[in-house]
Structure 1
Amino acid sequence: MEKRHWYVVLTYVIMQFSTILGVPLFYNLGIQPKEVALAYWLIFSFLSALIIILILMRKDMRPDQLRDDRSSLPVALLWSVFGVFLALFAQGIAGVLENKLFGIEPGSENTEFLVEIAMATPLFIVVTSVIGPILEEVIFRKILFGSLYKRFNFILAAVISSIIFAIVHMDFTHILIYTAMGFTFAYLYVKTKRIIVPIIAHVSMNTFVVLVQLVFKDEIEKYQQQVESMQFIFF
């Protein structure tokens, strides 16, 4: 990797661990309760990291006039839209495999936790739906996958980068789902040669999932309770 890419990765790592000091700091400054302090620190840290990373990556973001293998803008837009459905489809297939092979029930504690924070602090949706996906695509597709793809074939580079992408989410129960999503975004990147395509697809998918969780939260909880009741009665 280029030296500036290591700085980008370091910025991302620092951001991930910054909650250890940042949340207590905000809490002691009067931003309470702790869920609100967490939300505002995440907004601050993610936005700060995004600005720093975009500055570090400015050279990588310049259009290369000598390259003619990138998809045209209309084609890239079509792949961005199609990519949303492709990612949701991959997520659905992975969810079915988790359930059939390992007995893992649908639903993610990680997603539910983020939705709870978003309900307490609606501005936090910007982190889960926009800033987070942009950072993840730059780190895991542009840098990590891009570096691996120069040395290995697509399958191996996509699998390795996607597994690391899944591990970072710290939701090991659904590691297959996150890996499938990472693989899909890597495919979109290679297919179009434009990082903006997986970024748009990732942002759109996260926004859709968060809004569905927020708008239909009560209905989802009722459905889960009904399913659990039926399982209990059957048992």
Structure 2
Amino acid sequence: KIKNPTKLELEVKEPKKYIIPWALLGFALVMIYQMVVSIVYSQIFGTQQTSPNTERLIVIARKIPLFIFFVSIVGPLLEEYVFRKVIFGELFNAIKGNRIVAFAIATTVSSLIFALAHNDYKFIPIYFGMGVIFSLAYVWTKRLAVPIIIHMLQNGFVVIFQLLNPEALKKATEQANFIYHIFIP
């Protein structure tokens, strides 16, 4: 049982059997969102941009492989509890009246704090958008497990991808830019 449940957690939840499908959909949305923002960044800044936060984590993970566990599992668990359950959930609970307004305010505040907490000011749009997707997943399913799993998949994918094949990320971004230029000359 959840101690101190939010209004969302007291409502009828998506059945447990849908946790993984919703998480996979959310992961796909996060990855598509990041790809789109990466294309926009490359158009603005002229080169592919890498988050300094991600670079710091990769340096540590190369030296201490156990750190991959913390980045992929522990970090998302703690962050989603703080940013979705506590900040988003408490704001959503506190705002009376229209649920859409409550959602918009709680999402904006929690996602902005989430973005700022990553200390990559140039990458606020990426982290903010991820926070919005995580909040949508939480509201839609009423299960904190869904944004936690999405976040774990995203962090795990990025860390493993960066460790195993950092050049593939650059190549994927170049291919996405090529596709972008086909549709938007």
Higher RCO (CA 8 Å, separation ≥ 6 residues): 2
Tell me the CA shift for residue 81 of structure 1.
1.4
Measure the CA separation in 2 of the matches of 1:154 and 1:114. Answer: 31
Which residue of the partner structure matches residue 26 of structure 1?
A: none
Secondary structure (helix, strand or coil) at the match of 1:194 reads: coil
Tell me, yes or no, if structure 1 residue 86 matches structure 2 residue 25. no
Judging changes above 3 Å, is the alpha-carbon distance between structure 1 residues 160 and 102 closer, same or farther for their aligned structure 2 residues?
farther
Aligned match of 1:154:
103
Pair 1:222–1:78, CA change in 2 (3 A):
closer
Q: Percent identity?
A: 39
220 and 80 in structure 1: CA distance in 2 versus 1, 3 angstrom threshold: closer
State the match for 1:126 in structure 2: 69
Deviation for aligned residue 1:149: 1.6
Say which one has the larger Rg: 1
User: Helix, strand or coil: the match of 2:12?
Assistant: coil
1:157 Cα offset (Å): 1.5
1:132–1:176 CA distance, 2 compared to 1 (3 A): same
- RMSD between aligned alpha carbons? 2.8
What is the TM-score normalised by the length of structure 1?
Answer: 0.63
Quote how far apart the aligned CAs of 1:77 are.
2.0
**Counterpart code for 2:65:** P
Deviations 1:130-165 (A, max 9, x none): 100100000000110111222142122111110110
Distance 2:11 2:125 in 1: 35
Separation in 2, partners of 1:161, 1:103: 31
Q: Which residue of 1 aligns with 2:20?
A: 77
Superposition pairs of residues 29-44 of structure 1, within 5 angstroms: none
What is the CA-CA distance between 1:184 and the residue it aligns to? 0.4
What is the number of residues matched between the two proteins? 165
C-alpha distance in structure 1 between counterparts of 2:14 and 2:135, whole Å = 15
The 1:155–1:95 alpha-carbon spacing in structure 2 relative to 1, beyond 3 Å, is farther
5+ residue gaps in structure 2? 96-100, 175-185
Structure 1: which 5+ residue stretches go unaligned? 1-56, 227-235
